[in-house]
């Protein structure tokens, strides 16, 4: 029996507590449409939506597909699905519907909430499965969703109790086979992470959290649930400004955001093009970033423009959410070229650095694979028992596939992805190391390096570059520069200038798109 003061391990039950405790306070704001909901109003919309899901046949353990743009409507559906004991499955509403349909078929959703504009295409793609479809004409403020629900029957229900191991949501990530794989996250997984995030950010009802990440990206879990569990106010970033640096910078200042969380690429963009020196950010106290390595040049610039907040580098795959963290020092030495460490294990997990099979811990300073154990770690992949078995060691540790080493202070330093390492001329080459070296060139703004590996030619390395000036450096100049900062065997075979790097919907560099470019051109 849980004590009166203990936190329930079901995520939606925590939210119910917040709905009651902060009923009259503003819970969520959608500035793009001028809408806001108090905690009491958010609860009302959630329960109305839950009634429609129950009437649609959704029962505990079912999956509910969520194919809506970032909006109050989408947040309401996610929470409502958990209220009825179901599992929400968010998909990218801006992606091809064929991909969305693959995900929704794969996890056999009982019901899908989507835009009216996508209804027919989704219905066609899902014809063999035929889930119940609730179509919303337009999202914004929750009104579109509530209007759509008026066309559907509703059935009263009580919030369904769920056990710690019951699933709360499934997040699909790109799979190595070319098809998405569903990472299953339980209520315990989510709550253990939210407890840690709460201890780190120390939210109060006066805080204003940004919500920049789309719901199908694991960064959204911190945004939504750390904020709403604490009675703070969540501000949703509209997709149209999410990658527009000047508009986004003004948005952060105007809404006095106090806790920001995003991928480093967004913060790099803000630092370079957001004209931050012209705006006032006195409310901003915590800046969190995760998902990629933050180029040190851009991080240094951002900290010079935002000198007062605390900055944290958070690390972890979707399968663990955040498992290590590192606080960036107040001042970054001008001579520093290396990215900062990913830090030490968070309090809710254990980590180890190992090599070999069976895994053996490596000595401090030696490279090995980072593995994670603890209540935040996924139980596996939906409908992929073989892939799940491969992802874990015999003693239950999750294999991240990331190579790290511990520095003299015990801080873990990220070396690279095992799948971004190639052998070239007998040497192991980490593509991220080439990127880091190229970022040191004063005239290069953005860098991405890919390798095309064939039996005939081995690894062909191509660097894609975005230039900061009008006259890009010549290939000869780039080769000379590279020869001074990396070994000869790591110098790219080709350099390609592009106007911008392709990005995924989760604001990471789309390396697969670049590889396809190399394959097509090659």
Using one digit for the tens of pLDDT, what is the confidence trace for 485-519?
888 888 999 999 999 999 998 888 999 899 888 86
188-192, 311-315, 424-428: lowest mean pLDDT where? 424-428
Helix axes 431-438, 475-485, angle to 10 degrees: 110
Could you read off the pLDDT of 310-334 as tens digits, one per residue? 999 999 999 999 999 999 999 999 9
Could you read off the pLDDT of 354-411 as tens digits, one per residue? 999 889 999 999 999 999 999 999 999 999 999 999 999 999 999 999 999 999 999 9
C-beta separation of 472 from 466 below 8 A: no
Residue 277 has pLDDT above 90, yes or no: yes
* Cα dihedral: 502, 507, 512, 516 (round 10): -10
Instruction: Return the exposure string of 418-431: e unless at least 16 CB atoms fall within 10 Å of the residue's CB, then b.
Output: eebbbebeeeebbb
C-beta separation of 70 from 78 below 8 A: no
pLDDT band at residue 1 under the 50/70/90 scheme: very low
CA–CA distance, 151 with 55 (Å, rounded to integer)? 12
Residue that is written with structure tokens 């919303």 in the block:
136
Residue that is written with structure tokens 């995900």 in the block:
103
Strand segments (E) across 257-309: 259-262, 286-289
CA–CA distance, 155 with 161 (Å, rounded to integer)? 18
Residue 60 is predicted with a pLDDT of 97
Query: Which pTM value belongs to this model?
Result: 0.87
- The fraction of the chain above a pLDDT of 70, given in percent, is 96
C-beta separation of 352 from 157 below 8 A: no
Residue 318 is predicted with a pLDDT of 93
Residue 482 has pLDDT above 70, yes or no: yes
**Nearest partner of 345 among 378, 311, 315, judged by Cα:** 315
Residue 267 is predicted with a pLDDT of 97
- CB count within 10 Å of CB 77 equals 33
**Mean pLDDT (whole number) for 207-218:** 96
Looking at per-residue confidence, does 291 or 57 come out higher?
A: 57
CA–CA distance, 361 with 351 (Å, rounded to integer)? 11
Helix axes 116-125, 97-106, angle to 10 degrees: 60
- The fraction of the chain above a pLDDT of 90, given in percent, is 81
376: Cβ contacts below 8 Å, ≥ 6 apart: 189, 192, 193, 196, 320, 321, 322, 323, 346, 348, 349
* Most trustworthy range by pLDDT among 93-97, 187-191, 431-435: 187-191
* Residue 53, phi then psi, degrees to nearest 5: -65, -40
Domains of the chain: 11-242 (3.40.50.12780), 341-416 (2.30.38.10), 425-521 (3.30.300.30)
**Mean pLDDT (whole number) for 221-226:** 97
* Residue 428, phi then psi, degrees to nearest 5: -85, 130
Could you read off the pLDDT of 18-40 as tens digits, one per residue? 999 999 999 999 999 999 999 99
CA–CA distance, 133 with 149 (Å, rounded to integer)? 11
Residue 178 has pLDDT above 60, yes or no: no
Angle at 209 between CA 300 and CA 68, to 5 degrees: 110
Residue 317 is predicted with a pLDDT of 93
CA–CA distance, 421 with 438 (Å, rounded to integer)? 17
Residue 5 is predicted with a pLDDT of 45
How far is residue 438 from each of residues 329, 341, 472, 512, measured CA to CA in Å? 24, 19, 13, 20
HSE-up (13 A, CA, CB side) for residue 149: 23
Residue 260 has pLDDT above 50, yes or no: yes
14-23, 43-52, 60-69, 418-427: lowest mean pLDDT where? 418-427
Burial of 307 (0-12, 13-18, 19+ CB in 10 A): exposed
Q: What is the mean pLDDT of the chain?
A: 93
pLDDT band at residue 175 under the 50/70/90 scheme: low
End-to-end CA distance of the chain: 64
**Mean pLDDT (whole number) for 150-172:** 96
Residue 521 is predicted with a pLDDT of 63
44: Cβ contacts below 8 Å, ≥ 6 apart: none
Q: Which value, in Å, is the radius of gyration of the alpha carbons in the chain?
A: 23
127-136, 139-148, 307-316, 405-414: lowest mean pLDDT where? 127-136
Residue 256 is predicted with a pLDDT of 98
Q: Is 508 helix (H, G, I), strand (E, B) or coil?
A: coil
* H/E run at residue 403: strand 398-406
**Mean pLDDT (whole number) for 74-96:** 96
């Amino acid at each position: 029996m849980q004590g009166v003061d203990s936190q329930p391990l079901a995520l939606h039950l925590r939210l119910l507590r917040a709905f009651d405790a902060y009923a009259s306070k503003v819970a969520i704001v959608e500035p793009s449409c001028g809408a806001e909901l108090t905690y009491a109003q958010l609860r009302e919309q959630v329960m109305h939506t839950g009634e429609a899901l129950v009437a649609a046949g959704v029962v505990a353990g079912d999956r509910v597909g969520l194919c809506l743009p970032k909006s109050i409507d989408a947040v309401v559906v996610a929470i409502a699905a958990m209220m009825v004991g179901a599992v929400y499955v968010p998909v990218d509403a801006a992606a091809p519907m064929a991909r969305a349909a693959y995900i929704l078929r794969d996890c056999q959703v009982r019901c899908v909430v989507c835009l009216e504009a996508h209804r027919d295409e989704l219905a066609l793609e899902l014809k063999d499965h035929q889930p119940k479809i609730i179509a919303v004409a337009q999202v914004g403020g929750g009104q579109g969703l509530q209007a759509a629900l008026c066309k559907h029957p509703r059935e009263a229900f009580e919030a369904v109790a769920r056990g710690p191991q019951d699933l709360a949501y499934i997040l699909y990530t790109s799979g190595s086979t070319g098809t998405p794989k569903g990472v299953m996250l339980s209520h315990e997984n989510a709550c253990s992470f939210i407890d840690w995030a709460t201890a780190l950010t120390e939210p109060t009802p006066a805080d204003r959290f940004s919500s920049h990440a789309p719901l199908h990206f694991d960064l959204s879990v911190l945004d939504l649930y750390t904020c709403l569990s604490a009675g703070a106010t969540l501000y949703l970033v509209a997709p149209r400004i999410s990658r527009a640096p000047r508009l986004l910078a003004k948005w952060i200042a105007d809404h006095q955001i106090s806790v920001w969380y995003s991928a480093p690429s967004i913060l790099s963009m803000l630092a370079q093009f957001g004209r931050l020196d012209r705006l006032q950010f006195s409310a901003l106290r915590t800046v969190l970033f995760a998902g990629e390595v933050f180029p040190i040049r851009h991080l240094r610039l951002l900290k010079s423009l935002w000198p007062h907040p605390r900055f944290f580098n958070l690390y972890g795959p979707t399968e663990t959410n955040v498992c290590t963290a590192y606080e960036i020092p107040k001042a970054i030495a001008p001579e520093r070229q290396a990215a900062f460490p990913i830090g030490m294990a968070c309090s809710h997990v254990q980590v180890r650095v190992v090599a070999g099979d069976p895994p053996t811990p490596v000595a401090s300073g030696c490279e090995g694979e980072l593995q994670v154990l603890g209540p935040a770690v996924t139980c596996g992949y939906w409908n992929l028992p073989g892939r799940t078995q491969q992802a874990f060691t015999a003693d239950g540790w999750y294999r991240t596939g990331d190579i790290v080493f511990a520095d003299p202070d015990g801080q873990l330093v990220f070396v690279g992805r095992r799948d971004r390492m190639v052998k070239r001329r007998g040497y192991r080459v980490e593509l991220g190391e080439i990127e880091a070296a190229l970022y040191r060139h004063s005239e290069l703004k953005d860098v991405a390096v890919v390798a095309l590996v064939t039996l005939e030619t081995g690894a062909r390395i191509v660097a894609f570059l975005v230039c900061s000036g009008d006259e890009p450096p010549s290939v000869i100049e780039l080769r000379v520069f590279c020869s001074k900062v990396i070994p000869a065997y790591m110098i790219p075979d080709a350099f390609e200038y592009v106007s911008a790097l392709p990005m995924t919907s989760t604001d990471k560099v789309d390396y697969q798109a670049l590889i396809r470019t190399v394959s097509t051109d090659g």
